[in-house]
Structure 1
Amino acid sequence: MATTRSAHTVWEGDLLKGKGTVSFDSSGIGDQAVTWASRAEESNGRTSPEELIAAAHSSCFSMALSNGLAKAGTPPTRLLTSAEVTFQPGTGITGIQLVVEGTVPGIDEAAFTAAAEDAKANCPVSQALTGTQITLTAKLG
């Protein structure tokens, strides 16, 4: 069954001095403030499109890796995945760095790295970001 999730943003003003509010309609987790400064400079308690992409990518990747490991007979006990999305004003998103540390009984480092590379290539968010340089560091904890 296909699912659809939604969010919306209300923006007021111009790019540099304006501000917006991102609302998470599907989950109802609340509203988050967004400004150009929170995107191109310091976040100062506000979010950015890149932070939202990082959240989506780290969770999608973790799900894909967990599934791949379980299908291989070595389900993880724990995966800790971080994603850093780099944004260059005037250029756009220039790269994403995924870092995963896993606790996976019965697997060696090479098999874990191979499973992580497969998850990186095949998670739906990675696929949606085709054309973006995505790097991966994987290690067992």
Structure 2
Amino acid sequence: MQFSLVTVIAALSATASGWQITAWSGRGCRINVNAADEVYRKLASPSRGCYNFGQDMPGVSCSEVRPRAGGEQGCISGELFPRSVTVTGGCNFYGSPNCGGETDEGLWVMSSHDDVDRCIDFDYSRLMSFFCYGDEADASVVEPAV
């Protein structure tokens, strides 16, 4: 069986879509290499849904980097309630668990797939949950269930 180039590209694009968040323990989307307690985590999934920081996230890939820990590894170091993020895809972020509250009470963050270097700092003492759509088209028409 042979597939056309268009079919292969469409299939690869479908599997590559989704969202990615890099969540940082500190503000400014950077870590102090001399501070052993700082960390950043990369979270990614092709699936839309609500996720809570500090809890298991089924279907979400996770890796983390800590200073002096030997590079990227699995997410094994406990909870992370981020103070800043970079985002690819459309996501809502909330200061409450389970994407609680009305959408206007949460913090809406939208970025394009090209906008992965823009750092977003949060004023919340702890960012608790997020809802990601997978792509911007979904985010403009569908709200998370509250």
TM-score (norm 1): 0.31
Structure ranking higher on relative contact order (CA contacts 8 Å, 6+ apart): 2
User: Quick check: which one's helix share is greater?
Assistant: 1
